[in-house]
Structure 1
Amino acid sequence: MATAQPRWQPPPEPSESVRARLPQLSVYNSLTRSKTPFVPLDVEGRKVGWYACGPTVYDDSHLGHARNYVSTDIIRRILSDYFKFHVTFVMNITDVDDKIILAARQQHLLSQWLAKRTSVDSEVRDATTKAFRAYVEKNLPLVAGESTPEAWNQHADKAYGHVLNGQSAAKDGSPPGDAEAKIKMHLRTAGSAAEGLSLSNPSMPAFVAKASGVLLPHIDALEKHTIDSKDHDVFTKLTKRYEQRFFDDMAALNVRSPDQVTRVTEYGPQIVDFVKQIEQNGFAYENEGSVYYDTQSWEATGGVYARLEPWNRNDKELQQDGEGSLSTKKTGFKRSGADFALWKASKDGEPSWESPWGEGRPGWHIECSAMASDVLGKQFDIHSGGIDLAFPHHDNELGQSEAYWSKSGKDSKQWVNYFLHMGHLSIQGSKMSKSLKNFTTIREALAKGDWTPRGLRIVFLLGAWRDGLEITGEVVKAGRAWEDKVDNLFLKVRDVQQRQERLRNLTNGATNGVHRGSIIEDSLGSVADELDTAKDNFRDALCDSFDTPTAMRVISDLITHYNSQRPNTVPDTVALDLGRWVTEMIVVFGLDTDYKPSQLGWSGLDIPDKAKPFVVPLSQLRDRVREQAKSGAVDITTLGKFDDKDTIYASNQPYANAYANFQRKLVQLGDQHAPAKDFLAACDYVRDKELWDLAIYLEDRDSLPALIRPLSQSHRDERSSQHAATASKTAAKEQAKADAEAADRKKLEQGKVSPLEIFRTSEFSAWDAEGLPTHDAEGKEVAKSRGKKLRKEWERQRKLHEAWVTAAAGQRANSGS
């Protein structure tokens, strides 16, 4: 056997001048499974070729896709905007594969079947019942023998209740994962169909919404032979729609568009030629119209297969997942179990293209090899995708691409130098997946307000791009805290900027410069030095394989230091420098979808333009009132001339009404010569109620005007927590009061019995005139010590009885009045 090529071939050493210009950047490279110095193939060290595996477009994109593509976008922005590389970013759209073919064909055939039926008659019910049983038989074997829609819930709970309760399917104590998520998906689908079949007189749309999950595979099995394999519109009608929705979602998340998009359906002839070349080079063979990559032949010439994850090369489950529909085919003809399909012979219901091996379609992996090689050439710098693509997809791409470009593995050039794999987003231990149907779509999350584009990106930035991420309450809380901290910084430095602008206007363009008092000098050195240090630390973090968690912490620590300075002790020039640098870095990270050049801070810090003519003067008036109230009294005649309240009201605008209401309240309080505390209460009310309801918050500051800002989610969360705490305290007080009243009632009820009667029991045989026992049941005289105890009990009962008599008399008097 020929000497094998190394697992990784470092890029050529750049010239000394180029090396001096390149950043000291290292990236975690899946090919080396370590951090590797980043050196582009471009001899000038400027251009970077990058191919990213795009989506398989047959459904809406979910938050797991957001994790992949937003993290990819962050790294792309760092390379291009921070390190100033000229990145050519190519993304493919998989618009033909087993999942797409199945989804598109099923939807097409079901729509045709439904078009011939207008009501839920016996034929529709019979077909759906058969579909239900077939679905359960295939996917839920533990309940298959008892799969009647009428008793579905009972049988499903008996067979899979442990999975629904969070256990593993095997009941072995292991945590649930993808297998359990798949079982839950099938239970939901079957349960929905059973519910639809139980409806007595449903409309067709309502019935189909419940039963489509079982009808789709059933109708497909009956009708797929009717599909014309040359009619590609059957399939692209679905993929074109979801491709557009994918790019709409990416735009909403501020993900930059690719420089070039490639689609499988547009590369049919090129893919055929690509497979032919691999076969001619001796690294592929044909069987019944399908063509397979020959791993043994490649390795016999010195090539390396499965360089990314060699430990998975014999994993049959992963291999089957990569082969799709071919995984059910007998594989005795394969020369090696690791061999995989480059070209697939088309079956009934599948699209096809002409080829030397007959009508067929591309294998899953070959599409990326052909398209990336066509656009970026024999070698390029970066290939990226989710971590689940490392094997078999990317390992197969590597093998077949190098087999295309070389006649010998020993002499082949490394097709890709750096593989970047993004970590998964998971839900309760299971990755978010279309096939598992356990996902929240991007558009749903944004529409409901669960996430904002900025909030989601912050959470991803706070985690390492290559690590898995599970969304928890702590993760969400950390993201909001970081966002609030930066929000507050930008509000402060914008306030400084506005103060400088007012000063320039007053002094005809001159500025006050930097004051040199001792406190100012200390702050100048302290904050300015911290800013310089932060810039260095930030760069070091990004050079360390795009370590965004550390970079985000650098920004946070810098803001903490700035906030720790005493008010008005940081020179305006330093504060503005700090604000501009943080702005530049958040723009590099893509945290502002509406950023405008020369803008200080990110968008979303301003209240609506229509609010400003009313809220700004309201806030200024409120500041003057609070200043006087804190000194002990308010004289409204010194507050300045009020605007015409009736004119303001006439504008019929809620912000105007808030302003007018506040003025009227001040006039009312002034006419009443109200104390200062009432004026402060009015100031709190307009802040905490009227403006709060308009999503505007006034942040009061010592010796400075209140900051006018939009209401943030953290403000809402904080108030919700306060309300919850108050409600909890109120409930506790009410419960304590109720318990006390119940105890009082119980105590009062105990007094219903007269002290003359309490001891007249079988325990005693004689009593005195007050009802106190004198002899026990056997006729013996009660001992003096016991008599004293009985007397104490008697006295307690006498008092209770007197209280009861008094209460009863009061009730009778009240009822008679």
Structure 2
Amino acid sequence: MAAVQQPPWSAPQSDSIDPKAPNIRVYNSLTRTKTPFYPLKPKKVSWYACGPTVYDDAHLGHARNYVSQDIIRRILKDYFHFDVNFVMNITDVDDKIILAARQQHLLAEWLKEHRKAREQEDGVSNGVEKAISSEIRQTTAEALNAYAQKNLPLLDSQVAPEQFGEEADKKYGHVMKGKSVTDDGTPPGDKEAKVKMHLTIARTAAEAQLLPDPSLEDYVSRTTGVLLPYIDSLRSSTVKGNDHGIFTILTKRHEERFFEDMKALNVRYPDKVTRVTEYGPQIVDFVKRIQDNGFAYEHEGSVYYDIGAWESKGGYYARLEPWNRNDKEMLADGEGALVAKNTGFKRSAADFALWKASKPGEPSWPSPWGEGRPGWHIECSAMASDVLGKQFDIHSGGIDLAFPHHDNELAQSEAYWCNRSDSHVGHQWVNYFLHTGHLSISGAKMSKSLKNFTTIRQALSEGAWTPRGLRIVFLLGNWKDGLEITPDLVKAGLAWEERVNNFFLKVRDLQSRQPHINGNGNGNSVASQKTEMDLRLDEAQAKFGDALSDSFDTPSAMRVITELITAYNSTPDKQIALSTSTSLASWITKMVHMFGLDSQPSPPTGQVGWSGNDIPEKAKPFILPLARLRDRVREQAIAGRINLTALGKMEDVDTTFGANQPYANANADFQRTVVGLHKKGAPPKDYLAACDDLRDRVLWNLDIYLEDREGLPSLVRPLSQSLRQEKADREAVAASKTAAKEKAKADAAAAEREKLEKGKLNPVEMFKADEEFSEWDEEGLPTKDASGEPLAKSRVKKLKKDWERQKKLHEAYLASGRQ
């Protein structure tokens, strides 16, 4: 990248700096370096975050952005104790939303007309249409052809559904195999990903056309991808601009689902939410003031930002990514539908729309320039300025928003707030821009437009991720860098979680045995002065704070916790006072809660752990006594003698606790087993087998694990993902060994069968069918060749060896009795 002149950045005025404020440096996209973090007001942070464009469910790429922002917000608020005012916008009107909402509305109306016509024609059976009408099939055929001609130009026009698959494989097979569209050796990219998406949509629709008698619901689900744009092309002009409900019905649903997803990920709700559709008049006023200040011009009902006028007054455009200011593709993406218009009227090629004249089928609001709607970038400028004022501390979003979205925001907002009479503009609207890096899986960036994403709710519901596990992975990466989900990173996240989980279990176990402990884990007392582990805690707390002060360096902070736990686990119990163990666990508990790794409130000092670190409360009255009973049974069985009386009073083993109480049933069943074994006079090994079955099957199926420990009571703990994985790995290894043995056995049997099959031939006959020989002895060995000449001795010797091998095979065959 060529060197680009750095635009000026002004730190907040020194009189606003709190001398007691933490010494934080943060990576600022405005300077592309780490800069000291000085809020405009002491101990208060004003923050505007670009929220979602709500026309589809949020995916894991969105999770990376919003969870990372939530982590930084928590660090500022809960660790550094700033009062954070966090404002987030909801983009509920833009080109993508307008198109998606209108298409869905028009398709629904079209299908409603079809259903009504079908009911009048021949009725319905059990609520399902008897057949797809010829009209729908014809319209779908037209839609498929239109879709293919626009998005898959290599295909022949009017390709029949029967030939679609063959034609697609012929023209685009190389793309499906991972090559570029041009097939010239260049690596594939987004263009090829889009082709694959279009092929899938078109192929699915073509296959639907071949179904003999599908239900309307099934047929439409397969053909929606081609029907949506086609029906829209026929009917878009029927949608009225002031009928905003057509558009907000989609956005309200997905906004609600977005915040449900954020709640599931333990992302805190914004202090204030702003929506574009609620800011129509304010946005008009905002644009009008920019125009009045001399930095915008109108053309055919649309208003454009005048970059030349702004720079002529000393302003900067593209402050965040100046190297992209002439990137036509990125500029076109920012302009959306307007890019298709003749742009010769523009005073500069990079000038962008502040206000767009609405076309038929688009929502509209009244304005001095006629009916129109906000440009993409103006919404954030107007809403952030309305809520946070002329200047605020932090603006955040994904790195893909830096240009043109945030660069355009900066230019138009500073043009709004500047004084037209000034000879030079110099207002700084935002002091710190925080841009989070992309998330990719197997090297591919997630994208709604490419339809290659995994939604948040899908990932959580299918068990691919837990909210904690996903957040841990994000914490292990730097918030501003790209993050690729790899198997190694997933393993690292699981290992970190398991390490912390085991640490909490260990300390809680020590606390549970506190009446039997005098100062530490083994009954020895420890001097009251600070021990090495106390000093390690002090050092860890300092390093942790340094990491978070260094641009919220969570990977380093996570390592601090790991190293502290490793040091604790490496120190003999007798050298660690219980109070020290509790101090370590309390601090780590506080930090993991601060990071948002638990949706439950942080427990009081002295109580350690996070949710999922203990078995359910309803299980404890049954499982804890059961664990103690099992410990006594194992102890006696290992000693070689069972004393039922010494085991203690049994419960009434005939009591039925009910099928809805599996923990109680587990307790009662084990008692019945012990009593039954005692009545039969069973050997100790049978009791040990019962104890293992309770641990490995009964309680495992209740998501509880008993960890047997030498010289200590068994540790009762919930099953973790790593424990499940360890068991799955063991079972996989065992299954692999069993399969290998079975294969070896089968191979040996096959070899034996082949050997016996070869042995069917009597060695006396083995050479007689060979035309190479003319005479043989009484054992069938050749003596003369085909011309009657005696065979050479070396030749006879070799034939004799072959004959002897066959003789052994034949004898084995005869011995097998298979003849």
Q: What is the TM-score with the length of structure 2 in the denominator?
A: 0.92
CA distance in 2, matches of 1:567, 1:70: 38
| CA displacement at 1:651 relative to structure 2 | 6.6
The answer to whether the 8 Å contact 2:441/2:486 transfers is: no
Q: Bigger CA drift: 350-359 or 190-199?
A: 190-199
The residue identity in structure 2 corresponding to 1:467 is D
Taking a change above 3 Å as real, the CA distance of residues 688 and 219 of structure 1, as seen in their structure-2 partners, is: same
The answer to whether the 8 Å contact 2:143/2:227 transfers is: yes
The residue identity in structure 2 corresponding to 1:536 is A
| Match for residue 434 of structure 1 among 436, 448, 466 | 448
Secondary structure of 2:584 counterpart: helix
CA distance in 2, matches of 1:293, 1:651: 70
Q: Tell me which residue corresponds to 2:10.
A: 10
Taking a change above 3 Å as real, the CA distance of residues 410 and 629 of structure 1, as seen in their structure-2 partners, is: farther
Q: Bigger CA drift: 566-575 or 579-588?
A: 566-575
- CA deviation digits over 1:25-82, x for unaligned, max 9? 111111111111111111xx21111000011111111111111111110000001110
Q: Bigger CA drift: 283-292 or 655-664?
A: 655-664
CA distance in 2, matches of 1:27, 1:528: 31
The residue identity in structure 2 corresponding to 1:21 is K
Does 2:176 correspond to 1:164?
yes
CA distance in 2, matches of 1:364, 1:94: 9
Does 2:363 correspond to 1:363?
no
| CA displacement at 1:749 relative to structure 2 | 2.4
The answer to whether the 8 Å contact 2:76/2:82 transfers is: yes
Q: Tell me which residue corresponds to 1:666.
A: 674
| CA displacement at 1:763 relative to structure 2 | 4.4
| Match for residue 754 of structure 2 among 737, 746, 757 | 746
Taking a change above 3 Å as real, the CA distance of residues 147 and 419 of structure 1, as seen in their structure-2 partners, is: farther
Q: Tell me which residue corresponds to 2:718.
A: 710
- Counterparts of 1:322-361 in structure 2 under 5 Å? 322-361=334-373
Q: Tell me which residue corresponds to 2:33.
A: 34
| CA displacement at 1:787 relative to structure 2 | 5.3
- CA deviation digits over 1:730-762, x for unaligned, max 9? 111111111111222222223222333334444
Taking a change above 3 Å as real, the CA distance of residues 136 and 799 of structure 1, as seen in their structure-2 partners, is: closer
The answer to whether the 8 Å contact 1:765/1:777 transfers is: yes
| CA displacement at 1:773 relative to structure 2 | 4.3
| CA displacement at 1:257 relative to structure 2 | 0.7
Q: Tell me which residue corresponds to 2:622.
A: 614
CA distance in 2, matches of 1:792, 1:522: 89
Q: Tell me which residue corresponds to 2:298.
A: 286
| CA displacement at 1:472 relative to structure 2 | 2.5
Q: Tell me which residue corresponds to 2:332.
A: 320
Q: Bigger CA drift: 307-316 or 744-753?
A: 744-753
The answer to whether the 8 Å contact 2:89/2:273 transfers is: yes
Secondary structure of 1:151 counterpart: helix
Secondary structure of 2:717 counterpart: strand
The answer to whether the 8 Å contact 1:133/1:144 transfers is: no
The answer to whether the 8 Å contact 1:524/1:570 transfers is: no
Does 2:558 correspond to 1:561?
no
- Counterparts of 1:442-453 in structure 2 under 5 Å? 442-453=456-467
The answer to whether the 8 Å contact 1:426/1:432 transfers is: yes
The answer to whether the 8 Å contact 1:405/1:412 transfers is: no
- CA deviation digits over 1:401-454, x for unaligned, max 9? 000111348332110011001111224433212222222221122111221111
Secondary structure of 1:645 counterpart: coil
Does 2:693 correspond to 1:719?
no
The residue identity in structure 1 corresponding to 2:395 is H
| Match for residue 94 of structure 1 among 91, 94, 98 | 91
The residue identity in structure 1 corresponding to 2:562 is S
The answer to whether the 8 Å contact 1:52/1:91 transfers is: yes
CA distance in 2, matches of 1:593, 1:239: 27
The residue identity in structure 2 corresponding to 1:798 is K
The residue identity in structure 1 corresponding to 2:137 is R
Q: Bigger CA drift: 546-555 or 434-443?
A: 434-443
Q: Tell me which residue corresponds to 2:317.
A: 305
Q: Tell me which residue corresponds to 1:573.
A: 579
CA distance in 2, matches of 1:144, 1:427: 35
The residue identity in structure 2 corresponding to 1:106 is Q
Q: Bigger CA drift: 517-526 or 624-633?
A: 517-526
CA distance in 2, matches of 1:653, 1:27: 53
| Match for residue 141 of structure 1 among 128, 148, 153 | 153
Q: Tell me which residue corresponds to 1:512.
A: 518
The residue identity in structure 1 corresponding to 2:434 is L
CA distance in 2, matches of 1:517, 1:644: 37
Secondary structure of 2:14 counterpart: coil
Secondary structure of 2:355 counterpart: strand
Q: Bigger CA drift: 685-694 or 760-769?
A: 760-769
The answer to whether the 8 Å contact 2:774/2:784 transfers is: yes
| CA displacement at 1:764 relative to structure 2 | 4.3
- Counterparts of 1:17-416 in structure 2 under 5 Å? 18-42=17-41, 45-118=42-115, 119=118, 120-145=132-157, 147-406=159-418, 407=420, 408=422, 410-416=424-430
CA distance in 1, matches of 2:99, 2:653: 66
The residue identity in structure 1 corresponding to 2:433 is F
| CA displacement at 1:647 relative to structure 2 | 1.1
Taking a change above 3 Å as real, the CA distance of residues 685 and 338 of structure 1, as seen in their structure-2 partners, is: same
CA distance in 2, matches of 1:144, 1:177: 24
| CA displacement at 1:770 relative to structure 2 | 3.5
| CA displacement at 1:807 relative to structure 2 | 1.4
The answer to whether the 8 Å contact 2:707/2:714 transfers is: yes
Work out the percentage of aligned pairs sharing the same amino acid: 64
The answer to whether the 8 Å contact 1:767/1:773 transfers is: yes
CA distance in 1, matches of 2:715, 2:523: 27
CA distance in 2, matches of 1:498, 1:41: 48
The answer to whether the 8 Å contact 1:318/1:391 transfers is: yes
| CA displacement at 1:634 relative to structure 2 | 3.7
Q: Bigger CA drift: 684-693 or 601-610?
A: 601-610
- CA deviation digits over 1:371-415, x for unaligned, max 9? 101111111110000111000000000000000111348332110
The answer to whether the 8 Å contact 2:655/2:668 transfers is: no
CA distance in 2, matches of 1:653, 1:106: 51
- CA deviation digits over 1:146-183, x for unaligned, max 9? 53322211112222222222223333444433222222
| CA displacement at 1:223 relative to structure 2 | 1.4
- CA deviation digits over 1:694-713, x for unaligned, max 9? 22111222222222122222
| Match for residue 644 of structure 1 among 648, 652, 666 | 652
Does 2:812 correspond to 1:803?
yes
| CA displacement at 1:524 relative to structure 2 | 7.1
Secondary structure of 1:707 counterpart: strand
Q: Bigger CA drift: 770-779 or 531-540?
A: 770-779
- CA deviation digits over 1:468-512, x for unaligned, max 9? 222222222221111111111111111122222x45xxxxxxx83
Taking a change above 3 Å as real, the CA distance of residues 519 and 182 of structure 1, as seen in their structure-2 partners, is: farther
| CA displacement at 1:799 relative to structure 2 | 3.2
CA distance in 1, matches of 2:658, 2:218: 49
Aligned residue pairs: how many? 796
- Name stretches of at least 5 consecutive residues in structure 1 with no aligned partner: 504-510, 813-817
The answer to whether the 8 Å contact 1:52/1:90 transfers is: yes
CA distance in 2, matches of 1:203, 1:762: 71
Secondary structure of 2:531 counterpart: helix
The answer to whether the 8 Å contact 1:55/1:93 transfers is: yes
- CA deviation digits over 1:324-349, x for unaligned, max 9? 11111111000001110011111101
CA distance in 1, matches of 2:568, 2:442: 39
The answer to whether the 8 Å contact 1:424/1:469 transfers is: yes
- CA deviation digits over 1:160-213, x for unaligned, max 9? 222222223333444433222222221222122212222222221111111111
- Name stretches of at least 5 consecutive residues in structure 2 with no aligned partner: 119-131
Secondary structure of 2:431 counterpart: strand
| CA displacement at 1:568 relative to structure 2 | 5.3
The residue identity in structure 2 corresponding to 1:258 is P
Secondary structure of 1:697 counterpart: strand
Secondary structure of 2:154 counterpart: helix
Does 2:507 correspond to 1:499?
no
Secondary structure of 1:646 counterpart: coil
The answer to whether the 8 Å contact 1:523/1:569 transfers is: no
